[in-house]
């Protein structure tokens, strides 16, 4: 039985997997990792199934002591990984010894990194997922971010595992600027032609109020919209909502299942991973796609 002890949980570290599906009709968000490609890559590097849980670390990763020999991998944002204060590689399998301490700094590029540990984690599934939904206080470790003294245990069926490193062409580059493609949403036509043009020509800044529920955008250019009666309607991750303050919100993995703000667009799924890695104060632009297969 392997075991990890949390010395410092960082700014916001949670247990996540590929998500919780089939419960949106009950108001339960999908949750799961914000950057799915980095998540799958981390599990691949340690030989775990694609959907196996990982630790998702936001902005600053924290500090962790391993009580047993283990195989781990870290992908995603660059957070100055060290093992016993010695630099360690990202995007590569790593063998750690009992007593070794993994420590992460602040994210230098990107916003979220992922720690995979080889083996089957001993964490209770809730509605078919290990993912933490902190808003509902369930999943993961007591439905919250990791705290000092928390422990994670796992069964590893094989201690003999051949380490490998990810080819450089599979390692994403995390920019502080991003243009995301979107398709018009049900209330896109509520925007005047001038407001539509303004949205497409505005550089938005990622707000410090952003979180796993939604990416909040800031700008001196507010996007006005025609005032109409809006019934609460279904929403999914990637939906671009426009509240009365004229500053868009992009719903993310812990976002609500219904919303009362106009849905002016939907970010394409293949842009969601990179969106999740945009840093605070990063720059975001929108590009409208009219044909999408």
Reported as a single tens digit per residue, the pLDDT across 25-38 is 999 999 999 999 99
- Confidence at 159, pLDDT banded by 50, 70, 90: low
- Strands (E) across 37-108 are located at 54-58, 60-66, 70-78, 82-83, 86-87, 94-96, 101-106
Q: Which two tokens stand for residue 86?
A: 């010695």
Reported as a single tens digit per residue, the pLDDT across 27-77 is 999 999 999 999 999 999 999 999 999 999 999 999 999 999 999 999 999
Residue 89 has pLDDT above 60, yes or no: yes
For the whole model, what pTM was predicted?
Answer: 0.94
> What does the alpha-carbon distance between residue 238 and residue 240 come to, in Å, rounded to a whole number?
6
Q: Which two tokens stand for residue 79?
A: 């957070």
Of the listed ranges 157-171, 197-211, 224-238, 272-286, the least confidently predicted one is 157-171
Hey, what domains does the chain have and what are their CATH numbers? 2-170 (no CATH), 177-288 (2.40.100.10)
Nearest to 36 by CA among 22, 49, 48, 51: 51
Residue 235 has pLDDT above 50, yes or no: yes
Q: Which two tokens stand for residue 288?
A: 């409208």
Predicted local distance difference test score (pLDDT) of residue 226 = 82
């Amino acid at each position: 039985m392997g075991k990890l002890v949390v010395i410092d949980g960082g700014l916001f570290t949670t247990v996540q997997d590929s998500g919780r599906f089939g419960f949106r009709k009950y108001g339960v968000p999908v949750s799961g990792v914000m950057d799915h490609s980095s998540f799958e890559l981390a599990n691949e590097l340690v030989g775990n199934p694609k959907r196996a849980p990982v630790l998702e670390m936001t902005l600053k990763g924290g500090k962790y002591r391993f009580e047993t020999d283990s195989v781990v991998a870290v992908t995603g944002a660059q957070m100055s990984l060290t093992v016993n204060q010695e630099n360690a590689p990202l995007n590569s399998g790593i063998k750690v010894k009992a007593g070794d301490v993994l420590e992460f700094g602040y994210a230098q590029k990107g916003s979220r990194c992922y720690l995979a540990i080889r083996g089957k984690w001993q964490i209770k599934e809730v509605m078919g997922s290990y993912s933490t939904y902190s808003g509902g206080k369930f999943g993961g470790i007591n439905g919250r971010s990791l705290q000092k003294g928390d422990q994670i245990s796992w069964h590893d069926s094989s201690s003999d595992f051949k380490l490998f490193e990810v080819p450089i062409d599979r390692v994403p580059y995390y920019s502080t600027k991003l243009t995301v493609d979107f398709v018009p949403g049900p209330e896109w036509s509520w925007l005047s032609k001038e407001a539509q043009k303004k949205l497409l020509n505005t550089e938005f800044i990622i707000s410090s109020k952003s979180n796993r529920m939604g990416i909040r955008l800031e700008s001196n250019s507010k996007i006005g919209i025609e005032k109409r009666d809006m019934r609460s309607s279904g929403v999914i991750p990637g939906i671009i909502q426009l509240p009365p303050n004229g500053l868009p919100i992009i719903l993310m993995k812990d976002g609500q299942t219904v919303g009362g703000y106009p849905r002016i667009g939907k970010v394409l799924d293949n842009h969601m991973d990179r969106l999740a890695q945009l840093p605070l104060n990063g720059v975001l632009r929108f590009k409208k796609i009219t044909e999408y297969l």
